Amino acid sequence: MRRAALVYDDALSRHVYRPDHPLKPVRYRYTYELLEAYGVFGFDNAEVIPPDDATDDDLRLVHDPEYIEAVKSLSRGERRFNPGRYNFSDWGDNPVFPGMYEASRLVVGASLKAMELVIEGTFPVAFNIAGGLHHAMPNRASGFCIFNDPAVVIAHLINRGYRVAYIDIDAHHGDGVQYIFYSTDQVLTVSIHESGRFLFPGTGDVQEIGVGRGRGYSVNIPLAPYTDDELWLWAFDQVVPPLMEAFRPDVVVAQLGVDTHRDDPLTHLALTTCGFIEAVRRIISFSPRLVALGGGGYNLRVVPRAWALAYAEFAGIELPDDVPTRFHELVGPRLRDPVPKPMPDSLRADIRDFARATVELVKQLVFPIHGL
């Protein structure tokens, strides 16, 4: 029987970036409440664990002390620091909002709690749906991300001697995590995403493979807009399982953004909840221990369904497709998406060619470094 922890407290979902901001933390509460409505937490193998706050020492593992102090000060409404220096602005992706330091510190603390539960052996998998803020850089916010919780978790793990693989299936390239570990062979970072030619942050090309000892340990699988379940999973299967077999991580940290969905308003991929959960199953299959994190996802009818499916999969629980009635208005009547209409043959051929070219180049540049 699988056991899985959901690291959650309503405090993770209360902050608001800005009323019109696309990242809405209320999606975490919706996910939790949907799982609760299904009765998931009545099973012995599913448990909700509250998070603890991260400390500034935790944050300093990847973030500059000055940046941490700036976030703390700006969060209090002080004017000691210039927001623009740290990529904050009232109108952009990264607005300053009251309590942002406390909210962001709690997200990192929730991811660290998931890590501790996994490495102490209490649970083989723990999921922080509020985590996965993979764009934050050591000295600045980026892409809705203030502190980089996946990187803090990974830094803790490698400091304790663990061999770590980071798998990022968000539609956006996991640039912050890649940047922080670009020169080490202690971490294998793999990001499968919509190509930066079409989408923020504009990075994540196949040729970004790491430097020095890290050469070959940063892996990118950029895909074309409108890539669907079948082609996405084909590209994943061609690259990720062989690398996992060669690298043999002790712990996998997975960023499970669901902005790959065909109805996401900010991206251009065409996955369904069915394709997403197939990706989750693959990650489970090669993860000896798994720290699962949330990430992108900006359609509030999609995110709770996808992450509820993921958590149920972690716990080995089969959820009925009929959504509890009181959630119909919020997420719709069905948990799983219907089969999409076939795309035109000419478009499919172009997308397939793009995926094939990406996979072949990854195999040329990265596989030999790992003896593949």
As annotated, the active-site residues are 135
Q: Could you give the strand order of the β-sheet that contains 4-7, starting from the edge strand earlier in sequence? A: 46-49, 4-7, 125-128, 290-293, 251-255, 164-168, 187-194, 218-223
Of 62, 295, 294, give the one whose Cα is nearest residue 158.
Answer: 62
Which amino acid is located at 107 in the chain?
A: V
Query: Coil, strand or helix: which one is 243?
Result: helix
Distance CA 22, CA 25 (A): 10
- Backbone φ and ψ for 343, nearest 5 degrees, come out as -80, 160
Helical segments of 54-99, H only: 56-59, 65-75
Rg (CA), the chain: 19
Task: Supply 75's token pair.
Answer: 């969060």
Token digits of residue 356:
């094939």
Whether 306 and 229 have beta carbons less than 8 Å apart is answered as: no
Tokens of 136: 């934050």
